[in-house]
Structure 1
Amino acid sequence: MDPAHNNLVDDDKANFEAVETVLDSGNHSAEQYRIQYRILWMNLKEYKRFVWWTLYVMLLVFGWGYDAGLSGVAIAFPEFRKIYGNYYAAGDQWVIPALWQSLWNAASTIGQVFGAYLVGQFADTFGRKLILYAAVFISISSSFALVFAPDLPVLFVSKLLLGVSVGLSTALPPLYVTENSPAALRSSASSLTNIIIVLGFFLSSITGFGASKIAGVWSFKLSFVLTFLIPVIYLCGLPFLPESPVWYLKKNREADARKALKRLFGSEADIDARIKTIREELQQQEGESEIGGQGTWKSIFSRENRSRTLVAVLGLQVQNFSGGYFANTYQTYYFELIGQTNAFGLTAISSALQFGSNFVAVFLSNVVPRRVGLIGGGTLLAVWSVIVGGTSLAPKTNVSANTALLAFMITWSMLYTATVGCYGWAVAQETSSQITRPKTIALTLMCQQLTALLLSSVFPYFINPDQLNFGGKVMFLFVGAEIFILLGLYLAQPETKNLTYREIDIMYADGVSPRKFSKYLVMDGRAVKREQATTNVVGEKVQA
């Protein structure tokens, strides 16, 4: 077993054979889960200071979920459509023109692409903390402009700037947390991204539900006002957040890195061991003298990294092309289109159920393998999408069919957040190497937002009542795209659950097939099959 494997078994050598016997027996019993949860609880207590910092840093990701929910909720407000839209006589309703509806949704997406790019370009130059400050101040200023936008052009620019902030605050917190997290906590920490996003979506739906009871322009402006809330709270704690120790070591500032590690983990932590682990991770692929050249955009497409970059990108693409964009961003509006009289209340219920299912998924993230959560979950969603699309074929006058459609849409959203929503982020964050992680995460988010931009551009034409009016039948289109992405993940995605970054690097360097990572351990700096490792340990014990 690799020495960098934290506290999983190295601190208790006597448990090595017992743990390996349970894990390798193929009998995934309650005993296996009991051991893993005992180990997780032990590490949560040991690293409790880092856990609190993780929760604080990840709080800023809230903006993505709230912004995504806000896009769909705002369009569902009759007063919003009346002020910014045109009257559609045939349907006796106000409708935002499809072009401006596309621009409204695209504004945030374009901004997020640019924000993610800025993180990849400058995170290793100026550090993590400065970019967090930029994200907060841009968010506050753009939120102010959003509330008082007099017309659609100003509304577009405000949403664009808010999107830049969301891009910064979605790429940087996961980078900060995953690059500094001990391996024993990384599975849970990297799975937090989506639960914070879902929390933002949940609160946007609750806000929308409450604001829907208000008459006049403040019915939707109240939702805009609350975009101030998290950035202002976040700003209060930001001066006390230490800069990333990994960034300090990339800049050869070991003294500063030691101070930052004490702030993150406490003065009683083994700082020397943490410094040693980070240096080994940074030096794994090439020599220390070449570290500065490994963090370029070109490096993420090198022979050593391109497979890892592909997996990270596909990990988030499966979210978009499983139908997540439709089921979440347009959920409130779609509930209205299928004749539901309490669309805001249904969205609030749906988002609450999504938050609950995502919370369960994070709790299970140290037990459920990454490939099962992402590939298996994506396959289940594809089947569910066919059911949603098929149910949508029934006429709107069929009350039973519409009730079934509503139930399948809500349960689909729950499955989404518990599978690809949760595990897609984990895979995207932890597959890349320490050196290339800033740019890999940035590229992953940029690719996700570019495909989201494509979807936001065409979606209004598919579901608006004055256009194609496809409704839930659009889910059929997602199934075809999702199959290709799942196939790519099946071939290229490694099982990274509970592996250190050094172990992942070594397995890639030793040419282990990504599909077989779970069958290998790292011993003495090289990848060894689990059965061979177990035999060696037993043999050494017998000889002793």
Structure 2
Amino acid sequence: MVASHVSDAPQPREAAVILTDAQEAAVEEKQMTLREGLRVCPKAIFWSLAMSTCIVMEGYDTFLLGNLYGQPAFRKQFGVLISAATDTYEIPAQWQAGLGNGSSCGQLIGLLLGGYCSERFGFHRTAIGSLAVITCLIFMQFFAPSLPVLLAGIVLFGIPLGMLQTTPIIYAQEVAPAVLRPYLTTYVNMFWAIGKLVGSGVLRGTLAIQGDLSWRITFAIQWLWPAILIPLLCFAPESPWWLVRKGRLADARGVLERLTTNTSRDDASGQSTHKAVAFNLDKQVALMLATTEHERAVLAQTSYAACFKGANLRRTLIVIGIYCVQVLSGNNLRSNSTYFLQQAGLPTSMSFNMTIVNNALALTGGLCTWILIPIWGRRPIYLYSLVMIPPPTNTNMSYSWAIGALLIASSFLYNCSMGTLTNTLCTEIPSTLLRSKSVVLARWCYSVMAIAGGSLTPYQLNKSAWNWGAKTGFFWAGGCLLGAVFAFFFVPETKGRPAAEIDVLFENNVSPRRFSETPVRIAEALDEGDIVKAV
């Protein structure tokens, strides 16, 4: 890349010139190939991945709390004696429900705080602050003497964990050019799968350890992530979009220069060995400025309430729907895969092994998304996956292996399509001013639905309750149908669209099914008057 090196800070220019630069920057981004993006922005990729590593903690925490009840030492420490002859202990059902939902309840608070703090203090400060709080709260879990103290520690731990749920996703969206954004935002979901894999390995490894140390180690492992990430993220650049929203244009350009790389090289004759990539830093800042000021002219408010006003209402409801479809598609059933497979007739050991395979395929599925996105875009993959995800519905227990195979196939398809694309779509659809808060609201609604689904699924599977067994798949197949209808009518194609173009499409009430074929010229669509007061 040959970046333009004019002045260290953009000088005031005519609004018409800024709009023209914004249009040219949008064209540059749309024409950039994946190979060029990798050459231009390796530093942006690195910092996005560093921030996304925070999601490993959520995946680990989710798996840990749902599977610690099977560890004998944990049950003996916190459970009640149910058989003196066999020295068997069990965690009471009400405490299992409380511990399982405790982190989710804390995350509901953390999500709202994260949406405020990330826009008030910046993304990397919010992430560092959350990790610092997490470091302290792990002590509460590690030394918990009783279930009430452990529950309090889990609820409090969920608050900073909730703040970290959306911060890496939005950061990945804002530090990289358009061609790299779907890869970086989908990779966030893969870090969640990595966390679950690490959790399953830690739990299996600690089974051989005697005494309280076996369950304490599982909590102590959580100190590893802040110890690595806090020092690293102290050097992370802030989002250039956030800096533009704060009016710090010179700083935004400086961050862009830091995130990009001049990849041109001269040979012995003094000729460049690489073709220059068109990526002008000043024009990119102009595009961010034009987009931000246009959105402020449409609706200057940046509160949570503003997400439900004007054109933002439609955008917010779409984002909420996309997140909630994850639950409707049977996420809770896939999360309870071990217990589901046991109810389907598989032995306990094989059910656990199948769950390990399930988690590994979740990571593989995310990698497959990278192949599908440039070929088909967002909307087709998202829509067709809801039709293709096979629910395990066979009620004959002699087909237990077939049911297990269907569940794994369902998990793989989910993670190579709608599961990973959720983050991409939900960061592209909202306006840049309300992106943090829109994603937070969507994730908040998802968490509420996940709690409801998590409470419902055990009743569906448990033999002492509704005893649906494998027929539970029919229920979630109906959820997939509702999700497919929603996706067909409301989910737009955002592939290759800069934020300003998406703004115009929503403001003009373009049908989501027409997004990909509707042309937009930013310089003609935006008003010069929106820019005047900003320059």
If the length of structure 1 is used for normalisation, what is the TM-score?
A: 0.83
> Which stretch of structure 1 is more off in the superposition, 218-227 or 190-199?
218-227
C-alpha displacement at 1:221, in angstroms?
Answer: 3.1
The 3-state SS of whatever aligns with 1:139 is helix
Pick one of 511, 514, 517 that aligns with 2:512: 514
Which residue identity is paired with 2:325?
V
Q: Is the 8 A contact 2:45 2:176 kept in 1?
A: no
Which residue identity is paired with 2:313?
R
> Which stretch of structure 1 is more off in the superposition, 180-189 or 339-348?
339-348
Q: Is the 8 A contact 1:212 1:344 kept in 2?
A: no
| Distance in 2 separating the partners of 1:70 and 1:472 | 25
| Distance in 1 separating the partners of 2:125 and 2:361 | 36
C-alpha displacement at 1:524, in angstroms?
Answer: 5.5
Alignment of 1:248-397 (within 5 A): 248-266=243-261, 270-287=280-297, 293-328=300-335, 330-335=336-341, 338-381=346-389, 384-385=390-391, 388=392, 390-391=393-394, 393-395=395-397
Q: Verify: 1:4 aligned to 2:2, yes or no.
A: no
| Distance in 1 separating the partners of 2:31 and 2:254 | 26
Pick one of 44, 51, 61 that aligns with 1:57: 51
Which residue identity is paired with 2:73?
E
5+ residue gaps, structure 1: 12-38, 528-544
| Distance in 2 separating the partners of 1:120 and 1:334 | 35
What residue number does 1:104 align with? 99
| Distance in 2 separating the partners of 1:468 and 1:208 | 30
5+ residue gaps, structure 2: 1-21, 264-278, 526-535
Pick one of 206, 228, 231 that aligns with 2:201: 206
Alignment of 1:429-448 (within 5 A): 429-448=427-446
The 3-state SS of whatever aligns with 1:284 is helix
| Distance in 2 separating the partners of 1:464 and 1:219 | 28
What residue number does 2:414 align with? 416
What residue number does 1:535 align with? none
What residue number does 1:29 align with? none
Q: Is the 8 A contact 2:40 2:261 kept in 1?
A: no
Deviations 1:416-461 (A, max 9, x none): 2112211112111111010110110110111111111222334444
C-alpha displacement at 1:285, in angstroms?
Answer: 3.1
Query: Percent identity between the aligned chains?
Result: 27
Deviations 1:174-204 (A, max 9, x none): 1122133311222212222211111111211
What residue number does 1:147 align with? 142
| Distance in 2 separating the partners of 1:220 and 1:473 | 35
C-alpha displacement at 1:123, in angstroms?
Answer: 2.2
C-alpha displacement at 1:266, in angstroms?
Answer: 4.9
The 3-state SS of whatever aligns with 1:367 is helix
What residue number does 1:26 align with? none
C-alpha displacement at 1:270, in angstroms?
Answer: 3.5
Residues 430, 10 of structure 1: CA spacing in aligned structure 2 closer, same or farther, 3 A cutoff?
closer
| Distance in 2 separating the partners of 1:86 and 1:394 | 36
What residue number does 1:73 align with? 67
The 3-state SS of whatever aligns with 2:374 is coil
| Distance in 2 separating the partners of 1:220 and 1:464 | 26
| Distance in 2 separating the partners of 1:296 and 1:336 | 47
The 3-state SS of whatever aligns with 1:5 is helix
Deviations 1:278-332 (A, max 9, x none): 1122123343xx87x331112111121111111111111111121112212x234
The 3-state SS of whatever aligns with 2:376 is coil
| Distance in 2 separating the partners of 1:471 and 1:280 | 55
The 3-state SS of whatever aligns with 1:240 is coil
> Which stretch of structure 1 is more off in the superposition, 455-464 or 276-285?
455-464
What residue number does 1:159 align with? 154
Which residue identity is paired with 1:311?
I
Q: Is the 8 A contact 1:116 1:445 kept in 2?
A: yes
Q: Is the 8 A contact 1:187 1:366 kept in 2?
A: no
| Distance in 2 separating the partners of 1:431 and 1:296 | 17
| Distance in 1 separating the partners of 2:402 and 2:314 | 41
C-alpha displacement at 1:108, in angstroms?
Answer: 1.1
Which residue identity is paired with 1:145?
M
Alignment of 1:14-29 (within 5 A): none
| Distance in 2 separating the partners of 1:359 and 1:257 | 31
| Distance in 1 separating the partners of 2:212 and 2:465 | 27
What residue number does 2:5 align with? none
The 3-state SS of whatever aligns with 2:519 is strand
Which residue identity is paired with 2:337?
Q
Q: Is the 8 A contact 1:492 1:514 kept in 2?
A: yes
Residues 332, 139 of structure 1: CA spacing in aligned structure 2 closer, same or farther, 3 A cutoff?
farther
Which residue identity is paired with 2:25?
A
C-alpha displacement at 1:240, in angstroms?
Answer: 0.5
Deviations 1:458-489 (A, max 9, x none): 44444345544444433322222332233222
> Which stretch of structure 1 is more off in the superposition, 345-354 or 265-274?
265-274
The 3-state SS of whatever aligns with 2:328 is helix
What residue number does 2:165 align with? 170
Residues 339, 216 of structure 1: CA spacing in aligned structure 2 closer, same or farther, 3 A cutoff?
farther
Residues 104, 358 of structure 1: CA spacing in aligned structure 2 closer, same or farther, 3 A cutoff?
same
Which residue identity is paired with 2:160?
S
The 3-state SS of whatever aligns with 1:149 is coil
| Distance in 1 separating the partners of 2:364 and 2:31 | 34
| Distance in 2 separating the partners of 1:366 and 1:207 | 36
Structure in which a larger fraction of residues adopt helix? 1
Residues 76, 303 of structure 1: CA spacing in aligned structure 2 closer, same or farther, 3 A cutoff?
same
What residue number does 1:135 align with? 130
